[in-house]
Amino acid sequence: MSSQTKHTVFVHDWIFHIWGAESVFFDLIQTHTQHAVQEKIYTLFSDLESIEVDGYTYEIVTALPRWLNNIFVRWSRPYTWSNILASFFSSLFSSLLDYRNLIVWYPQLCRLLRRQIFADQPGHIVISSFAATKNIIPYWAAYRSYQVTLYLHSPNQYIRANHDEYVAKFSRWQKKIFGVLVPYLRRWDSKPRHYDTVITNSRYTASLAHQYYQLDHITVQYPTLDPAFDAHNNTKTSQNRHATKNYFVYIGRLTSFVREVDKIIQLCNHAQVPLIVMWSGPDETHLKSLAWPTVTFVWRVTDVKQKINILQHARWLINLAKESCGIATMEAIALGVPVFGYAEWGSVELVWPEQWLLVTSKDKESLEKWFWEFMKRFG
């Protein structure tokens, strides 16, 4: 292998907001980087042209031409318009050009990205995937001159384990279109591909990797928390935390789908309990419209000290998502903050029932019942 083909390239599904999966991806870069000038980040979609990781700047290459990529960037952001007509067209274009709609084109986008990656002639491809980019590796490749490391955060839950919950919230025409697409996308997603190293973020994800993709010899590697959390670990407990205040906190993407942020907001509305919603996402405008004055939205908190300050003084964390591994839940546990969560998936590996409460149903009556029980138990 020539010296030109020995560098590493890094692949992630999309880089639009820096959430938990992106933080893990940056850790992977720091682990595998050689700081070679050829090293780049490849992604289906991004609002950035480059990003700095550990003091080194990486160019970001998107599957779509940059001008087309930027159209999706423009209409995937929440906007507030004072003019009613402008607001109508903004909502229309935002729904049509929401980056989540690119799921229709995942096979084609992965093919485009693959061509760019292979033209770069890498010696090592490090893939971080929770949706699609695990499939950039051609399934027919019997002999390769490159190594592949896959860190699987989760299979594509739109077409896998969360499929029914997504469909339940679709409109009629969305259900029809999705019903046609899903079998095709599942066949594409299920094609066998060879990875030299497979890592998952939980035992639960490892079981899905075996079930859907017949992947074995998997290493489970839980995400690492920012070192700043270590300074607080074991110094505060849920029974004795300094200056605890009477509010819930939610940390994560603002979406009404599997993360159930709409249900979280409505629970806190009706209980008249203050809620701090930390981060942003494609459904931000809609979710803000549901919130009562007791709900405070804090946009992208990138400073870890600010994040710790908000979380450590919270009385509770609330997280109703089906998560393969919840980093926010891990952070709350490190700070001794009680978790009101959902009793499925990776959360079960992280949370102990005698210290936190996991609900088994997300219907309105069950949530309200357990919500009050949780506040009594950990109030």
What's the CATH code of the domain at 338? Answer: 3.40.50.2000
pLDDT confidence band for 355 (50 / 70 / 90):
low
Question: Are residues 311 and 330 in contact, defined by beta-carbon separation less than 8 angstroms?
Answer: no
Predicted pLDDT of residue 96: 59
Do residue 290 and residue 364 come from a single domain? yes
What's the pLDDT score for residue 98? 64
Average pLDDT in the 54-71 region?
92
Q: What is the pLDDT of residue 95?
A: 59
The last residue of one of the domains, among 220, 248, 271, is 220
Sequence length of the chain is 379
- pLDDT above 50 for 239: no
Listed residues 220, 247, 274: the one ending a domain: 220
- For residue range 150-198, what is the model confidence (pLDDT) as tens digits? 999 999 988 998 888 888 878 888 888 889 999 999 999 999 999 999 9
Residues 243 and 182 in one domain: no
**Domain check: are 24 and 82 in the same one?**
yes
* pLDDT bucket at 299, cuts 50 / 70 / 90: confident
Which range marks the domain in which residue 374 is found?
227-378
Q: Are residues 212 and 238 in the same domain?
A: no
* Domain termination site, one of 165, 197, 220: 220
* pLDDT of 242 above 60: no
258 and 287 in a single domain? The answer is yes
252 and 140 within one domain = no
Q: For the ranges 6-10, 203-207, 295-299, 321-325, which has the lowest average pLDDT?
A: 321-325
pLDDT of residue 76: 66
Q: Are residues 152 and 290 in the same domain?
A: no
pLDDT of residue 314: 94
Which pLDDT does position 142 carry in this prediction?
Answer: 59
User: Residue 12's domain is classified under what CATH number?
Assistant: 3.40.50
For the ranges 89-93, 236-240, 329-333, the lowest mean pLDDT is seen at 236-240
Q: Are 55 and 171 part of one and the same domain? A: yes
More confident residue, 204 or 301: 204
Q: How many Cα atoms occupy the beta-carbon half-sphere of 232 within 13 Å?
A: 27
Specify the pLDDT at position 113: 96
Please check whether residues 61 and 19 belong to one and the same domain.
Answer: yes
Please tell me which of 136-140, 263-267, 305-309, 344-348 the model is most confident about, judged by mean pLDDT.
263-267
Per-chain mean pLDDT for the chain: 85
Q: Number of structural domains, the chain?
A: 2
| One domain for residues 369 and 287 | yes
Same domain (yes/no): 110, 213: yes
Same domain, 216 and 233: no
**Span of 52-61, 175-184, 231-240, 297-306 with lowest mean pLDDT:** 231-240
Most confident of the following: 189-203, 229-243, 350-364: 189-203
Residue 75 clears pLDDT 80, i.e. is over it: no
User: Hunting for tokens 């010296």 — which residue is that?
Assistant: 3
User: Contact at 8 Å (CB) between 314 and 288?
Assistant: no
